[in-house]
Amino acid sequence: MDFKFPSTKRIGIDLGTANTLVYVVGEGIVLNEPSVVAVTAEENRVVAVGHDAKNMLGRTPGNVVALRPLRDGVIADYTITEAMLSYFIDKVCGRARFFKPEVMVCIPSGVTQVERRAVLDATMSAGAKIAYLIDEPLAAAIGARIPIAQAEGHMIVNIGGGSTESAVISLGGVVVHSSVRVAGNKTDEAIAAYAKRKFNLLIGETTSETIKITIGNAVVPTGKELKTMEVRGRDNITGLPRTIVLDEAQVNEAILPSLLEIIKGVKEVLEQCPPELASDIIDKGIVMSGGSSLLRNIDKLMTEKTGVPCHVAEDALLCVAKGTGVAMENIELYKRSINKK
């Protein structure tokens, strides 16, 4: 009979502003849920986490609030983050676990020492035996199968929900990096602000994200008909429900300033990059990952503005989680770039 002796699970967590993914060594990605927690307004008791909680965003009755524990890529609410981590760790390890898991968490490279401690502490309180931290650009690069250990420069740009991380990596370490707290969420907010400014229409964050995913485009297409979409919201003056039609060019006008801020961060890294590595990057191009790299033509806009060929990695939404898991699996190899508690 096949008996598998229970052992310590080793897991990698991509703790994202928009989504949290969990990778179990030996199994792969086993969980992918929105980073949302619903709590009761009075006593802060957790009522739902992940998908269930996201469905409640903007639709909760007075006594329940749906919160995103992370803002702009960092922990905004420590207690809620810990509750979310425990829930996800329990979900993949089982509540009545005998051995505590070893957990590696991925965080944006721009977070401060205080924020790093907060993530390590939250992970330990959530039930980890040992907690490790890995920087998001490194995890993204490993997940995008970039050969980071070689003595040549590689550049990765991970555009998530709350932050954009750009980094040049060589010999397994980050050489230069920049972290801007502008990514998918800011483009969503920009669409909502545009609808309010131009049409006096109030729309929620779920609606603006849907607009972006459906007709968002980093470059306005020329010579063909623009995609359009019906958008429902509430009239800011009458307070009544109303429908408008938005087109690709309007959405582009709304999001372009945020996209240019993202690109500014990328250019900063290119400017600080040592010449030898810069020449490697011009040769090999920039690899993009993260959910917001799926915005239509963002690679085209990035190539045009930086003058360096850019392309989107395979499974862009999963790179960071995969890379975190692979780093957990090969911890000796990546020891130099990892924090531990």
Ligand X SMILES: Nc1ncnc2c1ncn2[C@@H]1O[C@H](COP(=O)(O)OP(=O)(O)OP(=O)(O)O)[C@@H](O)[C@H]1O
Torsion sign across C-alpha atoms 268, 269, 270, 272:
positive
Give the separation between CA 56 and CA 74, rounded to whole angstroms. Answer: 22
Single residue of 138, 157, 266, 295 touching ligand X by CB under 6 A? 295
Single residue of 69, 73, 172, 325 touching ligand X by CB under 6 A? 73
Residue 291: contacted member of Mg ion, ligand X, none (CB under 5 to 8 Å, by partner type) = ligand X
Transcribe 83-97 into DSSP letters: HHHHHHHHHHH-TT-
Residue 280: contacted member of Mg ion, ligand X, none (CB under 5 to 8 Å, by partner type) = none
Based on CB atoms, which residue is closest to Mg ion, 157 or 270? 157
Give the separation between CA 301 and CA 5, rounded to whole angstroms. Answer: 52
All residues at 6 or more sequence positions from 238 whose CB lies less than 8 Å from its CB, including other chains = none
Smallest distance, Å, CB 16 to ligand X?
2
118 scored as a contact of ligand X (CB under 6 A):
no
Cβ pair 198, 231 in contact under 8 A = no
Based on CB atoms, which residue is closest to ligand X, 81 or 86? 81
Transcribe 75-127 into DSSP letters: ES-HHHHHHHHHHHHHHHH-TT-SSPPEEEEEE-TT--HHHHHHHHHHHHHTT
User: How far is the CA of 304 from the CAs of 168, 217, 300, 312, in angstroms?
Assistant: 19, 15, 6, 15
The separation between the first and the last C-alpha atoms of the chain, rounded to the nearest angstrom, is 38
Single residue of 157, 169, 195, 317 touching ligand X by CB under 6 A? 317
Cβ pair 306, 288 in contact under 8 A = no
Site stretch for ligand X (CB under 6 A), options 218-226, 229-237, 284-292, 331-339: 284-292
Smallest distance, Å, CB 199 to ligand X?
22
Based on CB atoms, which residue is closest to ligand X, 166 or 185? 185
Residue 137: contacted member of ligand X, Mg ion, none (CB under 5 to 8 Å, by partner type) = none
Q: Minimal CB distance to Mg ion: which residue?
A: 160
User: How far is the CA of 254 from the CAs of 58, 86, 313, in angstroms?
Assistant: 22, 38, 26
Smallest distance, Å, CB 307 to ligand X?
24
Based on CB atoms, which residue is closest to Mg ion, 16 or 143? 16
Residue 19: contacted member of Mg ion, ligand X, none (CB under 5 to 8 Å, by partner type) = ligand X
Smallest distance, Å, CB 96 to ligand X?
30
Site stretch for ligand X (CB under 6 A), options 40-48, 141-149, 205-213, 304-312: 205-213
Collapsed DSSP state (helix, strand, coil) of residue 184: helix
The number of residues making up the chain comes to 341
Site stretch for ligand X (CB under 6 A), options 42-50, 111-119, 212-220, 267-275: 212-220
Collapsed DSSP state (helix, strand, coil) of residue 128: coil
Residues 144-183: x where in contact with ligand X by CB under 6 A, - otherwise, as a string: ----------------xxxx-------------------x
Site stretch for ligand X (CB under 6 A), options 166-174, 222-230, 244-252, 292-300: 292-300
Residues 12-51: x where in contact with ligand X by CB under 6 A, - otherwise, as a string: --x-xxxx--------------------------------
Smallest distance, Å, CB 318 to ligand X?
9
Single residue of 12, 172, 184, 325 touching ligand X by CB under 6 A? 184
User: How far is the CA of 241 from the CAs of 60, 120, 128, 232, in angstroms?
Assistant: 19, 45, 48, 7
> How many contiguous H segments (helices) and E segments (strands) does the chain have?
11, 19
Q: What residues line the site for Mg ion (CB under 5 A)? A: 16, 160, 320
Binding footprint of ligand X on the chain (CB under 6 A): 14, 16-19, 73, 160-163, 183-185, 209, 212-213, 216, 290-292, 294-295, 317
